[in-house]
Amino acid sequence: DKELDRAMVAHTDTHTDTAVGNGVDAVVEKVCSDELPVHSLERELGDCARAVLVRREWLKRQPGVASAEAVGRVPHEGFDYDAVHGACAEMVFGYIPLPVGVAGPLLLNGKTYQVPLATVEGALIASTRRGCKAITAAGGASAAVLSQGMTRAPVIRFPSAIRAAAFAAWMHDPANLAVAQEQFATTTRFGRLTSCRVTVAGRYAYARFVCATGDAMGMNMVSKGVSAVLDFLSAGSFGDLELLGLSGNVCCDKKAAAVNWISGRGCSVVAEATIPGHVVESVLKTTVSAACELNVAKNLIGSAMAGALGGFNAHASNIVTALYLACGQDAAQNVESSQCITLLEPANGGADLHVSVTMPSIEVGTVGGGTILAPQRACLEMLGVAGAGQEAGSHARELATVVAGAVLAGELSLLAALSAGHLMRAHLAHNRKPAAP
C-alpha cells in the first residue's frame, strides 16, 4: 500500500503539470505575453480548476521562483476551487494540506466534544488531549460567554478638535445612537449596532462601533453598516467629517491591543474546572502546589516582566490557531483571540486544583469565510456548530466556549509538564524523527 501511495504521488507530480493539454499551453502563452490577465483567469476562462492549471504553468516561468519543479509539487487536484473563488483566496495555484488531529473527549458544559486541531507542532495535540482527559475525569469544565460583539473603528478627521469632541458627544447620546442604529440596519438582516464609543485625539475621532453579527464573525457586515452610518452623518449634521480610513486601529483587528483586553471583541469567554488532587497526580503527573507555584512565576510574574499585553498564559495561541485552521476561521485573528489570563489556585483546602482561563476577544464565526470550505465545515459539523444556530449567534458562542475549553486543557497540560520537568521529554517523543541510518 505504501508503494502504491508513493507511485500515485509521483504520478501526480510528473503528469498533471507537464502534460496539461486541453489547450492550456496556448492559454499560458497568452498569460505570459500579458494578453490575458493572470489575476482574473477564473472569470476569463469560466473554469476555476482550469484557471489553476494555467496559473501553475505561468508561475513556473516567473522570476522569483527558485524551482519550477517545486511548483509542481504543491498539490492542486481534488479541491473545490469554485468555493474558493471570490470568497477565500486570489491567485490560487494549489493548496497546502495540513494534518488534523483530535483532542478529546472534552466534557464542557455537560456536552462531550472531540476537538479538531490542525497543526505541524508535534506534541501539541497529545498534550491538549491529556488536558482534556484530566478535565473530563474531573467531571468536566464550565464556560460562559460574557459578551458578544464585533467592532469596527473608523478614523475621522474634523476641522478642529472641538468639532471632533462635538461628534463624540453626539454619538454618546442614546437618542442619536438610535438614529445610527436605524442607518446601520438598512444594510443587513442579521447585524445590529449595539453601542459606539468615540476616542478623540486632537482633530481625529475614532468611533468604535460594537455590533451583533449573528453566527458570522462579521467584519464585512460591520464595515458595510458603519459605512452607511458615516454616509448619513456626512450628509447631515457632520458634513465637515473627513473619513480617512474605515479602520483606524482602535477596532482593534489582528493586533495585540489593550482595548480588546479591556473591552472585548468577538466573544468574551471564561472557562473553569476543578481537578481533584488524585487526577492531578495520576493524569497530569504533577502536584497541586507545583502547578500553582509555576503558574504564578511564569504566567503572572514572568509575563509582567516581559511587558505582556494579554499574554498571561502558557501557550493559548497554540490551541487557538490549530482550532482556527481546522474550522475555517481567520487564522490571523489568533493575535487578539489568544489574549488570555490563566489562573491556578488550590481548592478544597489545597487538596484539589482550580484552573480558569479568561479570554476577552475570541473572534469566531460558523457561517461565511473559510467555513464554506468542505473540510473546514466538516470539522464544525464534528463539533455540532456548523452554519447558523436556531438562535442568532448561538453556534458562534458555542464555538467560542469550545475554544476556551480547549485552551483550558492545553494550559493545564503544559503547566503540568513544565512543573514536573516533562516538557522536553514529550517533545523528543512526539516532535522529532529519528536520524536516518
**Which three cell numbers mark 377?**
465545515
- Active site residues per annotation: 121, 254, 330, 427
- Cα distances (Å, whole numbers) of residue 180 to 193, 283, 419: 8, 54, 53
* Burial 26-55, CB ≥16 within 10 A → b, else e: ebbeebeeeebebeebbebbeebebbbbbb
Give the β-pairing of 340-347 and 311-312: parallel
Provide the terminal-to-terminal Cα distance of the chain, rounded to the nearest Å: 23
Burial zone of 218 (CB within 10 Å; 0-12 exposed, 13-18 middle, 19+ buried): buried
Rounded to whole angstroms, how far apart are CA atoms 346 and 274? 9
Rounded to whole angstroms, how far apart are CA atoms 116 and 102? 5
Closest CA to 92 of 61, 128, 48, 133: 48
Rounded to whole angstroms, how far apart are CA atoms 13 and 17? 7
* Nearest-10 Cα torsion for 249, 251, 222, 318: 110
Which residues touch 13 (CB under 8 Å, ≥6 apart)? 72, 73
Kindly state the greatest CA–CA separation across the chain.
77
